[in-house]
């Protein structure tokens, strides 16, 4: 069983395509959307799919994803099930769940993610994705926009995502590395490039470089304002 947890906040533009990328999968899954206070039509979009579980939680990806994982405990599950954390603007490859089912029979595989790319053909964004993938192969730290997946039992053993406003995925994976080596699957997820284009590609590249320096060398990250939401 694959539990797909999608944190949302005013994602009416990107969410329909993201859900469609899950609906095309051929496997046994359950979608849990956890909203952080949307004021657009996000809830209405989800309500058109009664099979999706809708939850609310305090704003923040860590808080929202933890709430989805906690709700999953009230459903029928096993500790070997996958939790897959999917950003609301990121599309899964068509064979994503097939790959998870294949590696799921190997009990030594406890966590992982996918390669990353942006939508569109902007060469600067392709460069950012290349840097992200290079960094991931080197550090084995899976970013949130790579559709991080982890076994239910291990996730709850680690206590979920740390409740911090940014880089919760990095902190979680640093803890994860003490227990397992995440597996990076060959297929790529595709993240909607519009937020990076609105933010500015070079500013986005600077953010990626700063995060890499932080992860690799422990240098300070930028201020929270640098990680402000773009809708």
Residue 177 sits at φ, ψ, to 5 deg, of: -65, -20
Beta bridge partners of 150: 83, 111
Give residue-wise pLDDT tens across range 11-45. 999 999 999 999 999 899 999 999 999 999 999 99
What distance in Å separates the CA atoms of residue 72 and residue 152, rounded to the nearest whole number? 9
pLDDT tens digit string along 188-207?
999 997 777 776 666 766 77
Which residues, 6+ apart, have CB-to-CB distance to 97 below 8 Å?
A: 2, 25, 26, 27, 29
Is residue 74 predicted with pLDDT exceeding 90? no
Is the domain defined by 2-122+142-192 classed in CATH 3.40.640.10?
no
The domain ranges of the chain are 2-122+142-192
């Amino acid at each position: 069983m694959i539990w797909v947890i999608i944190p949302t906040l005013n994602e009416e533009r990107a969410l329909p395509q993201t859900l469609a990328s899950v609906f095309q999968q051929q496997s046994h899954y359950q979608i849990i959307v956890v909203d952080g206070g949307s004021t657009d039509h996000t809830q209405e979009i989800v309500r058109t799919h009664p099979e999706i579980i809708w939850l609310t939680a305090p704003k923040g990806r860590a808080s929202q994803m933890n709430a989805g994982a906690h709700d999953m405990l009230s459903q029928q599950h096993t500790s070997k099930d996958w939790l897959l954390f999917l950003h609301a603007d990121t599309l899964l490859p068509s064979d994503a769940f097939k790959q998870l089912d294949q590696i799921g029979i190997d009990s030594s595989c406890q966590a992982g993610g996918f390669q990353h790319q942006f939508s569109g053909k902007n060469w600067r964004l392709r460069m950012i994705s290349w840097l992200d993938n290079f960094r991931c192969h080197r550090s084995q730290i899976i970013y949130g926009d790579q559709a991080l997946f982890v076994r239910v039992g291990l996730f709850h053993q680690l206590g979920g995502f740390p409740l911090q406003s940014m880089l919760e995925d990095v902190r979680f994976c640093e803890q994860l590395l003490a227990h397992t080596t995440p597996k990076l699957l060959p297929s790529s997820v595709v993240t909607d490039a519009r937020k990076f284009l609105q933010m500015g590609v070079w500013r986005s590249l600077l953010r990626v470089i700063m995060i890499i320096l932080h992860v690799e060398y422990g240098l300070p990250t930028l201020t929270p304002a640098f990680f402000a939401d773009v809708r």
